[in-house]
């Protein structure tokens, strides 16, 4: 891998770099977003050099994120022709070495879309692309709404002081995606636990008992262990759906065949299943919880939306921009390139900072203000280009339905204690938001 040439003009101050690169820096949103802002104003494309990590370019500007995302032939997820030579999720050097030893030299621990480059990425994405189209999702709306009504009824019937993350937001999207996917309801707690293992690799609250938390490669160990547990579960699911097909998403993926009429290798089905079982609900839950926190801070917006539910799509888009639960993905340059006046070398690595791009002052007027009237709202919470989130329309549908059912019954939301963020630099949002809810 090419080493970035250090220079005073491009190297980011270590304090700023550590706030963004290290998972623990994401426990404090105030300091995190201050660091993003400092970079946008002073070093929008700078080099982070932190002991134990490869040198990284930190990409903070909306335009640069889009320029990189639209060119997978230049900025690769998986390493281009040298498949599996690059990790699209930031891990320290010890973690990458652990993964290489585990896999016999590669870093592609999942045959999932974030690890793939075109044309392989396109072929695997096409397996379920049509299923996630808005026109197809309409047939599931009534089913989603019934789930939403049950979830809201349970919330209304409960106590007024609740943790809206752990007692509400996490359950609705989990049940929706698992029921559409074809996972039995009794297995949902297992999926939730594995998701917390998967995305909480650097969070002390989500450490597995079988991993030595202080070891340099602990996060990579937990990531691999969670994937292995997912695979053990999903292997049974693949075999069942191939033998007993049903009208569910698991069957669609399990029975998919390549251009030669052969089943895709099971690992690709596993990759799809893991992505659906994790990001398919965790990001939606984070956005829902973050939306409620924003409404608590802006009661006038709650009143407006309650009186005009047609504003819910605007509320969702602005909540996605502000929350941005997917914080980063990594890319590697396959060729020399020039970006924002900087000379990029083949082998240079990039950390794409979506949260920062969604606060870019050149794109969003007064970006730290929660404004559901924002027009246009060009957020990139779902990414951009070929790797744009395939599940975005389902996520928006779920959020629309749950808010349509909840907000008419919710007259007031008040903070009832400090918010605690998940300690992760990858995917995540609030872990706990204590609130007092008043229902009409």
How many CA within 13 A on the CB side of residue 151? 29
Q: DSSP label at 218?
A: H
Each residue's pLDDT tens digit, 393-439: 999 999 999 999 999 999 999 999 999 999 999 999 999 999 999 99
| pLDDT (0 to 100) of residue 3 | 41
- DSSP string of 222-245? HHHHHHHHHHHHHHHHHHHHHHS-
Confidence bin at 198 (pLDDT 50/70/90): confident
Residue 248: pLDDT over 60:
yes
Average of per-residue pLDDT across 94-104: 93
Per-residue pLDDT tens digits for 109-135: 999 999 999 999 999 999 999 999 999
Calculate the average pLDDT of the chain: 93
Confidence bin at 4 (pLDDT 50/70/90): very low
CA dihedral 27, 31, 33, 38 (to 10 degrees): -140
Q: Do 47 and 57 meet the contact criterion of CB atoms below 8 Å apart?
A: yes
| Neighbouring C-alpha atoms within 13 Å toward the C-beta of 410 | 27
Helices and strands in the chain: count of H runs, count of E runs = 16, 12
The stretch 375-393 carries a mean pLDDT of 96
Which H or E element spans position 290? helix 266-297
Q: What is the pTM of this model?
A: 0.94
Q: Is 410 helix (H, G, I), strand (E, B) or coil?
A: strand
- Whole-number pLDDT of residue 1: 39
pLDDT the model gives residue 6: 42
**What number of CA atoms fall less than 13 Å from residue 276's CA on the CB side?**
28
């Amino acid at each position: 891998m090419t080493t970035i040439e250090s220079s005073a003009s491009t190297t980011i101050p270590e304090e700023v770099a550590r706030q963004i690169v290290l998972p623990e820096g994401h426990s404090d949103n105030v300091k995190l977003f201050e660091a993003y802002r400092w970079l946008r104003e002073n070093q929008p494309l700078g080099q982070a050099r932190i002991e134990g990590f490869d040198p990284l370019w930190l990409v903070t500007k909306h335009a640069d994120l889009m320029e990189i995302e639209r060119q997978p032939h230049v900025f690769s997820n998986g390493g281009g022709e040298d498949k599996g030579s690059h990790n699209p999720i930031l891990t320290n050097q010890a973690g990458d070495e652990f993964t290489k030893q585990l896999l016999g030299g590669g870093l592609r621990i999942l045959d999932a879309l974030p690890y793939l480059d075109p044309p392989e990425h396109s072929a695997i994405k096409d397996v379920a692309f049509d299923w996630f189209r808005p026109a197809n999702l309409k047939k599931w709306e009534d089913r989603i709404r019934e789930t939403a009504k049950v979830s809201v009824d349970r919330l209304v019937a409960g106590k007024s002081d609740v943790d809206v993350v752990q007692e509400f937001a996490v359950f609705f999207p989990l049940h929706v995606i698992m029921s559409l996917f074809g996972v039995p309801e009794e297995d949902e707690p297992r999926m939730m636990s594995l998701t917390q293992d998967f995305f909480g690799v650097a969070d002390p609250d989500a450490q597995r008992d079988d991993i030595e938390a202080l070891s340099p490669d602990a996060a990579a160990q937990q990531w691999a262990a969670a994937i292995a547990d997912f695979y053990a579960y999903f292997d049974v699911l693949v075999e069942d759906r191939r033998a007993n097909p049903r009208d569910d998403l698991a069957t669609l993926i399990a029975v998919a065949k390549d251009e030669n009429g052969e089943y895709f290798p099971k690992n690709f089905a596993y990759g799809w299943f893991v992505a659906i079982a994790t990001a398919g609900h965790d990001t939606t839950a984070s956005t829902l919880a973050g939306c409620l926190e924003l409404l608590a801070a802006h009661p006038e917006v709650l009143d407006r939306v309650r009186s005009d539910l047609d504003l819910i799509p605007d509320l969702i888009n602005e909540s996605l921009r502000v929350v941005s639960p997917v914080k980063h993905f990594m890319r590697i340059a396959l060729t020399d390139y020039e970006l924002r006046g900087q000379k990029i070398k083949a082998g240079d690595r990039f950390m794409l900072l979506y949260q920062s791009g969604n606060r870019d002052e050149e794109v969003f007027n007064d970006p730290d203000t929660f404004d559901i009237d924002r027009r246009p709202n060009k957020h990139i919470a779902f990414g951009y280009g070929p790797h744009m989130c395939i599940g975005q329309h389902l996520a928006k549908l779920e959020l629309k339905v749950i808010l349509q059912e909840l907000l008419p019954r919710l007259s007031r939301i008040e903070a009832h204690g400090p918010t605690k963020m998940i300690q992760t630099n990858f995917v995540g949002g609030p872990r706990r938001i204590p609130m007092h809810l008043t229902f009409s």
